[in-house]
């Protein structure tokens, strides 16, 4: 099992930036990829970005391309999401999720383990 703990959320104004962190523990060696997801009130959970632990593949939702960068630090068992140029539409609870199965990173149903989430609030 993989345990995930997110941090780095907070409140920013439009145009601001946040760096979200996810610390992973447990059987990280058996995981294939990590993803950042978000869920706003009344909306479905959606994937923002994902990266394989090997770092050879990444995925970004079209809406965040050019504004978000996902990265990982294998030595620290951590993944990060640098989010820039935030706007109010980015307000959501963000969580990191791990998957042990390979395949398309955009296949959201394949992510098996969730963190508790960190809230991002963007005000105008």
Please list, in sequence order, all residues whose beta carbon lies within 8 angstroms of the beta carbon of residue 107, skipping any fewer than 6 positions away: none
- Residue reference for tokens 């104004």: 13
Which pairing describes strands 92-99 and 78-83: parallel, antiparallel, or unpaired? unpaired
Model confidence pLDDT, tens digit, residues 28-74? 666 789 999 999 999 999 999 999 988 789 999 999 999 999 999 98
Measure the CA–CA gap between 48 and 99, rounded to whole angstroms.
Answer: 15
Lowest mean pLDDT among 48-52, 109-113, 120-124: 109-113
Model confidence pLDDT, tens digit, residues 82-105? 999 999 999 999 999 999 888 899
Query: Is the Cα torsion angle 45, 79, 50, 19 positive or negative in sign?
Result: positive
Measure the CA–CA gap between 72 and 39, rounded to whole angstroms.
Answer: 22
pLDDT value at position 54? 85
């Amino acid at each position: 099992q993989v345990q995930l703990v997110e941090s780095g959320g907070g409140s920013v104004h439009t145009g601001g930036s946040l760096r979200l962190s996810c610390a992973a523990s447990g059987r990280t060696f058996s995981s294939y990829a990590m993803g950042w997801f978000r869920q706003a009130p009344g909306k479905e959970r959606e994937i923002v970005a994902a990266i394989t632990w090997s770092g050879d593949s990444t995925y970004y939702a079209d809406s965040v391309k050019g504004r978000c960068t996902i990265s990982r630090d294998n030595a620290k068992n951590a993944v990060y999401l640098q989010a820039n140029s935030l706007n109010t539409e980015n307000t959501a609870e963000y969580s990191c999720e791990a998957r042990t199965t390979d395949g398309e990173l955009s296949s959201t149903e394949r992510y098996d383990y969730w963190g508790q989430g960190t809230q991002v609030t963007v005000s105008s």
